[in-house]
Amino acid sequence: MTNFKIIVLCLTLGMFVFSGSACAAVTDNEEVTTNGDMVYLKVENAAASSFDESPDWAPKPDPMAPVDADLNTRWSSGYKDGEWIYFDFGKPKTVSKIVIKWEQAYASSYEILSSDDAKTWKRVVLLEGQTGGTNEMKFQPVTARYVKILGLKRANPEWGISIWEVEAYGPKDKNPEDLPLEDTFKKSAQKSEFEKKLDEIRLIAEQIVPSPGPIAVTEFQKGVNYTSWDKSELATDLSDYSLIYLSKLGVKHVALMSVYYQDDAESKRMYADVKKTTSDESLGHAINIIHALGMKVMLKPHVDLVDEDARSNIIPSDEWFKNYKEFIIHYAQLAAKYNVELLCIGTELSNTTTSRWKEKWLDIISDIKKVYKGSLTYAANWDEYETVSFWNDMDSIGIDAYFPLTNEDNPPLEELVKAWTKHADTLEKWLKENGLNKPVIFTEIGYDTIIGSNKQPWRILPTLATYVESQEEQSNCLESLMKVLTKRSWFKGLYWWNYFPRPDIGPLGYTLRGKRGEKVLSDWYEKTK
């Protein structure tokens, strides 16, 4: 915790001074007294001022989520300043330390308050200029039944505030019925397993981690797209835990996306967004963690349009290619530095990949190979792959395979199998007719968790509020794909779109985390060689 103002508060307990990475309340010049061992103060009940009501991105509205010792659950407020959450110990307890683990939507200024009746509140801690992450506050013991976190100012005015976990501690001699955290929660054993694994891989990941090995031509790529639109999210503990989670599912290949932006389709320049483009340092951290877990990496830079037009509509020019070359060479150098196994040189740039612009791409590919010696692919849109002019210069043919399957809502599995068989036959015929003896990978494939997702899998819905959840349709689409494609010798894997560092995103979205389709993916990855 850094860059906050020093706050001096005169309370009945004395003069409170906050400084450094932890907030310590002291009386005059005395040190904080903890009276021996500390115990975790178990919460019996909780209440919140509001809950995030966005249809797809909001967690379950549970005020107890931040006190369940589970980093997969969180509380998220409505979108205004002044939102709060309070915790009820069931009876008065003596508190002298509070730890808050903020989600990305943190409060830049907030108060910790205490109360005996949940009506009259006294300030314990005030913090301003916060930067999120984990905040740890130590203060002179306060006896109260209730503790409240009151958000005064949000870090982002477009978000509310959101907390993964809150931990309250107090002196053991003042709280004789309470226990240490690990004894309070029986399920903390699983959490400890993840923490032990993280400690283990971080010892390896302190330096650039060697690759587990190149991607062989015969290798089946068992992948997911691991996506973030945040500068530093891939370097967080939460992201590291999510990567460990993926490794336990049987995922062996992880596509890391980093997005540059151009204003519109006619713009010639692409640039990094100071907040949304993943930093090189965060990418490097994630690559090291992935390698330390024994998984391989596809680095997959994207270009998106600020006006939200499709990147397939980008209008190429000599100047655009000059700037794109600079952009992709940067990531080729990063891929070389961190031992990345597969570099995707572009994604869904349909207007730029035709024969008219072939020489531009060959020039880019030549310069990439001067700095990066690993494998290359290109991620063609599902309706673009037949017109890409440089497949002969790629090590594999990448397709973002959002092929429409049927015109039905929640069709039976056998109908989906028929649809995928038709697409597989079309792909196989095209490969033979063009003499392309190369492995095909689906650089993206995914379906929303809604009824009708098979009809237009590529769609980005303006809102999911009117759609009906269907884990069955999502999982059947994946099952049918694997049933058909794993029988084709040229098909060498897929990268599911998508998983997030944050484990709770997407009840209706593409992510499989915690859904029926996740077991389908894991089972197929286990039995596919």
Confidence tier at 464 by pLDDT (50, 70, 90): low
Residue with tokens 């069709």: 411
The correct answer on CATH 3.40.50.720 for the domain covering 221-527 is no
Range of lowest pLDDT (21-25, 46-50, 124-128, 223-227): 21-25
Range of lowest pLDDT (162-166, 272-276, 467-471): 467-471
Structure tokens at 253: 């290949």
Q: Where in the chain is the domain with CATH 2.60.120.260?
A: 8-187
Angle at CA of residue 506, ends 505 and 512, nearest 5°: 100
At residue 10, does pLDDT exceed 90?
no
What are the tens digits of pLDDT across the range 156-203? 998 999 999 999 999 999 999 999 988 887 655 555 577 788 888 888
Residue spans of alpha helices (H) in 234-301: 237-249, 280-292
Range of lowest pLDDT (51-65, 99-113, 384-398, 465-479): 51-65
Angle, nearest 10°, between helix axes 188-204 and 280-292?
A: 110
Q: What is the mean pLDDT of residues 302-325?
A: 97
What are the tens digits of pLDDT across the range 45-71? 999 999 998 766 778 899 999 999 887
Residue type, 490: W
At residue 477, does pLDDT exceed 60?
yes
DSSP 84-138: EEEEEEEEEEEEEEEEEEE-SS-EEEEEEEEESSSSS-EEEEEE-S---SEEEEE
Q: Where in the chain is the domain with CATH 3.20.20.80?
A: 221-527
Residue type, 526: E
What are the tens digits of pLDDT across the range 396-418? 999 999 999 999 999 999 999 99
Confidence tier at 20 by pLDDT (50, 70, 90): very low
Residue with tokens 């932006």: 261
The correct answer on CATH 2.60.120.260 for the domain covering 8-187 is yes
